[in-house]
Amino acid sequence: MEGGKHSKITGMKMRENEGYKSYSLKIYGIVQGVGFRPFIYKKAKEFAITGWVNNAGGIVVIHFSGAKENIKNFMLSIVKKPPELSNIEKIECKALGKRIYSDFTIKKSTEALGKVKFVSTDVATCHRCVEDIKTLENNRYRYAFTNCTDCGPRYSIIKKLPYDRKSTTMKSFEMCDQCREEYNNPLSRRFHAQPNCCGKCGPSITLMNNKKEVIKCIDPVETTIKLLKQGKIIAIKGIGGFHLVCDGKNEAAINVLRNRKRRAHKPLAVMMKDLSVARKYCMVSKVEEDVLSNNKRPIVLINKRENCSLPENIAPMQRKIGAMLPYTPLHYILFEKDLEILVMTSANISGGYMQYKNKEALCMLEHIADYFLLHNRDIEIPVDDSVVKVINGEEVMIRCGRGYAPYTLNLGVKDQIAALGAEQKNTFALSKDDFVYLSQYTGDLKDLNSYINYKYVFKHLSNLLDINPQIIVQDLHPDYIVNDFAEQLKGRKILVQHHYAHMVSCMAENYISEKVIGVIYDGTGLGTDGAIWGGEFLVGTRNSFERVGHFKYVDIQGGDKAIREPWRCAFSYLYSLGYGKNDFIENLYCRNHLQKPLVEEIEAVESALEANFNCYKTSSVGRLFDCVSSLIGIRNYITYDAQGAIELENIIDSKVLDCYEYNIYEKDGTMQIQYEDIIEGIIRDLKKGIRKEVISAKFHNTIIRATCDLVGIIRTINGINKVVLSGGVFENEFLLKGIYNGLLDGGFEVFYNKKIPTNDGGISFGQLASASSIINEEGIREDVSCHTRKSIKY
């Protein structure tokens, strides 16, 4: 709900009689740190309103008096044209007794009335502050921490609400006279801008080398630019944490960064100087331009131009590149001296969490960065860059972070609930008084430091919003590390199956409560039968589901190792079809000079399959994609999550419309999609020497058609016409669009995740929405000690 367009005013009954009236307003939403109080002050002056306004807890409170017509215009102006960065969720109004105010004032903030709290996200530098830093005569010329009420850090520096300077990491910086005058002037755009500062009184920048020695120079940023042009790797501290930065046109420097960071192939994000540079190297649609340049400034995945001259090692084997535009004053200054593109990737070692403290960064990154560009404004809470893409002309969230987190949605959830999320691509979700708050991305919790950071972020956001959860929601998987955290939390525990959480995340985002067909494709997730699911057709509501279909099970050998080594998936599928190690080695093995598994390893996997040792049954579409990527010579070993599947999508020959044979059959009351004919068709094409680009297209087309066919069968049986698509595999844009359009052509209503990540970053949101629905069922509330699985219908 942008800018309060859908806000509601409750409780106001204007009296017909003339004369002055007095009222109290409580305004809920993103109304702190966005210039709301000076906005109210100016409107009060404009409409001859007297009284006062202040921040109270997480809301804005106004007590005011005025003539009837003036009050009407005053309130309409608040609702219809609030500050750009605000988001009004609700306005409560009640009449006061006769009160006479001599003027309109802005009162000191209080911590009272904090029933519902909202947190403003970090906002990109506004165009007026950009002009300030570019104007030689301005006192903030080239000052890296310039901000106003329309821009700058928010969530990353907040210690507690209400949002006042003393409650942020800016507390230690005493404003100079000029900044204080701006801060206290209701007519200034820096009135009560809590991070307000200038070069005389605010944070400062220091350049150091990786031996922790300060580099003595007149201008640390200008020296940094020179170092970047020399091919050096710089760790630069930003709003939410450190980035590792190098010249985006220097292939050798990028290789050095990859080697040091141990990130062999995963695409690296880049920052481009401006839109004209983005257009030069990428095919940028109007919607993508709007998303790139909005005040959130996410990383946007956009198509590279044919014959794009950027180094291939930025995003190997990818058609898209993750690009963002400058969003802090420091970024704008970095691009002053002829640099066009900077690689700007999160400062961590692959699998770890983003560094955000100076001392730790200097230690943890000393073997990666040559130099460190530091500043002395503390980051209270780390927030990584958000990642989005545009599908069917709409922005779709991939990773929730800076500019979006904490993401707030009104789901009418009354209970205080904490949903702990998945183990990979983790987020958590909290709820209170109707609203659900989705945290920023916290990474892969298998990494110990990421898990420690997860607990810190959880505690911080819970305290910030004054949420003390009484209900804890977690995944079925008994080995997730978040289960250890759940044991530390008091309250009733509810388990929600992984793929069902994906389904409900899409339902809740689209405000769907009735029964739907859920098509959920991802890599792993423990099913209710103890197998690993991932190719699921579910029917249900937000509080219960039935599994009505899935891809046929296959035995995969190797546990988590099979995910990192897709050749194990390929061999497991072939073994189920009766092929042995000799067939694999002689005919189908290690095409296009891929890194080869040892013959001894293949023999060991075959023996383990024969003995059913360290094997698991799975219906995972993600593992099927891994199998095909290995079979056709794309990837036998991966260096990042879903690499084989991602590269398989990127080679599709979109002119190919054919598909492989497939079969859908019923077994034990459940519909199943058979994989045997698909794999055999691929093997025949391989033996014929068919190009892998064609095989990839035919394989994708097969999954699309089989999915649409099975959904049609389920509709015939169940009479349901609404379909939701969710799960990490649906990050595959070709697959998503194909199934979406195919189902639309079949007369279905189709929904997919847009605001909430379709990958495991959306699991917590689905967990919470499902748990809320479950506890609202008749009788569930009666036994608050009721444990886990009994609360959920399968």
Write out the catalytic residue numbers.
Answer: 37, 54
**Element containing residue 693 per DSSP (H, E):** helix 692-718
Ranges assigned E (strand) in 203-362: 205-209, 234-237, 242-247, 270-272, 282-283, 299-304, 320-324, 341-346
What single-letter DSSP state applies at residue 4? G
Separation of CA 75 from chain center: 35
Instruction: Count the neighbouring beta carbons within 10 Å of the beta carbon of residue 16.
Output: 5
Task: Return d(Cα 467, Cα 435) in angstroms, integer.
Answer: 11
Instruction: Count the neighbouring beta carbons within 10 Å of the beta carbon of residue 400.
Output: 28
The residue written with tokens 């075959």 in the block is 606
Task: Return d(Cα 78, Cα 12) in angstroms, integer.
Answer: 14
34: its two tokens: 């966005």
Task: Return d(Cα 785, Cα 450) in angstroms, integer.
Answer: 31
Task: Return d(Cα 153, Cα 197) in angstroms, integer.
Answer: 12
Instruction: Tell me if 531 sits within 8 A of 619, measured CB to CB.
Output: yes
The CA–CA distances, whole Å, from 242 to 351, 611, 684, 696 equal: 15, 49, 50, 38
Instruction: Tell me if 158 sits within 8 A of 167, measured CB to CB.
Output: yes
Mapped onto helix, strand or coil, the DSSP state of residue 558 is: coil
Task: Return d(Cα 556, Cα 618) in angstroms, integer.
Answer: 7
**Phi–psi pair at 122, nearest 5 degrees:** -70, 135
Instruction: Count the neighbouring beta carbons within 10 Å of the beta carbon of residue 52.
Output: 18
What single-letter DSSP state applies at residue 674? -
Q: Which residues contact 279 (CB under 8 A, 6 or more apart)?
A: none
